[in-house]
Amino acid sequence: MKKNLLSTCSIAVIFSILLNASVSSAITIVSVSPTAAMAGQSVTAVISASTLSILPCSVMVNFGDGSPALSAGSCSTHTPCQLSANHVYTSAGSYVITASDAGGGTCSAPMSASAPLTVSAAPAPPAPASASSYVSPSSFSIPHNLATTLTLSYTFSGPSSLNTTLQSGSGDFLAGGSVIATANTPLTAKVSNGRGGVTETLTIPAAVSLQAEKLGTANITFSRTFSGGGVSTTTAVAITVTSGAAAGFSITSIRLYFPNGRPEVTIGRNTRLSAFADIGYTGTGRVQGYWEVDGNLLYNVYQTLPFGGLVTMQTRVVPPLPTFVPGAHILRFVITSPSASVSLPEAVYFVTASAPGETKMMLLYPADGSEAGSGELAFQWGKAATASAYLIEFLEKKGRQAHLLRIRQIPGLQSSEDRTGRYVFARKDVFLAGDSVRRKRSQDSQESALPFCIQIISSIGGGQHESDRLYSKTGCRQTRGGGG
């Protein structure tokens, strides 16, 4: 009985061993991916293996490039397992990948397998994005000790794949290797399909040429750097400081006045009247413009100017300035070429229905020479019974002269009982007087110290006029003007 039981167990063990051997699998490399590998790319080897015993089958993979073998894992079953290992080749070449038993002898035979792999060189990295830049004009001259304004055009080009936004926060004026001034105007250029551009209105202060002179040079460079999207490019403009005569043709100042030397006058109806325009300029060239009265073109002006200086233009006898309609008329000389960076002034003439006489007006409030507060500016003066309008001038003090910035008109006497005139200037009225006033105000820590003066003039039907001038703390000195 005991002998028969032993025989049965032996048969079962033999049967089990034979059964397991029939389903076991040798070590094989199922796949290597990617099949077209490149240096620097991860490669995965997939291995199939099984064990012959109750101990696991451990597999090592040698990728054939001299690096240490890597473990792919182990299989503890008699049925095949899929194992894997990853590796990165650092250089191109032909390699043999070998998977084998880790040394325990528990894997099904054959206990190793191999597969070839060709690794190609990695493609060269793309070149960094780049753009070239061009600025026009690339060079020009400026007059010594005079401000100059001109337009610069920037153009950018690059590969058609370049799409980005280039920005420049500021530009620098350089002389003698040092930054002598900065233009704090930000610029933005959109580049699409490798093309883009932007323009800049550049104002060069007179101080720039003076600073270059201190450094002993007449050569200045204006430089801007644009960057964005991994692209950076720098532009440079060569500037030469010359005398006014040798500088480029540009308008530097315009002053209008009548025969009385002032930008306002009162005349009788149908009286012949002339006006003058003093035009300061640099260089030499052809000026084009026109005289206009009340916004209506009077006639065009074309004149070639000799080397830099000052020229006076006078209105023609025919056609004359219109003086047949009573009232106030605004005269302007508009320059169309070259582009004038200076403001275009106005002059006003009053036409009365009869020959002018002479009268006076009295300032009631505030006192002449008073300081302007931070709020509204209120003025009051004695009216004349025949006043039809009042002219208010905003002037800016430059040196010892007061330059007209803006003119306003307000109604005259409304009734015989109203014997005083009053006008309240809103703060915006004052600061619309001119950019120079706004600029100076922003640099002044005391808001009450306004660099302008105000002149109120009555236009008297049948008579001349006399002016009372009201001034801010930093304005003009007291002056009284006679009849116009």
Would the pLDDT of 49 be above 70? yes
483 CB neighbour count, 10 Å cutoff: 17
Question: Quick one: CA torsion of 212, 213, 217, 222, rounded to 10 degrees?
Answer: 20
Query: If pLDDT is split at 50, 70 and 90, which confidence band does 276 have?
Result: very high
> Is residue 62 scored above 70 in pLDDT?
yes
Q: Domain 251-352: what homologous superfamily?
A: Immunoglobulins (2.60.40.10)
Nearest residue to 482 via CA among 472, 468, 470: 468
pLDDT tens readout for residues 399-444: 444 444 455 555 554 444 445 555 555 544 443 333 333 333 333 4
Domain definitions of the chain by residue range: 23-120, 132-242, 251-352, 363-471
Q: How confident is the model at residue 76 (pLDDT cuts 50, 70, 90)?
A: confident
For residues 289-308, average pLDDT:
89
CATH superfamily for 23-120 is: Immunoglobulins (2.60.40.10)
Could you tell me the pTM of the whole model? 0.40
Q: What is the CATH number of domain 132-242?
A: 2.60.40.10
Where helices occur in 147-285 by DSSP H, the ranges are: 206-214
Phi, psi of 391 (to 5 degrees): -105, 125
What is the distance between the alpha carbons of residues 138 and 152, in angstroms, rounded to a whole number? 9
What is the residue-averaged pLDDT of the chain? 76
| 363-471 shares the fold of 23-120 | yes
Instruction: Tell me the mean pLDDT in the region 203-228.
Output: 92
**Cα torsion 422, 472, 399, 340: sign:** negative
Tell me how crowded residue 62 is: count the other CB atoms within 10 A of its CB: 21
CATH architecture for segment(s) 363-471: Sandwich (2.60)
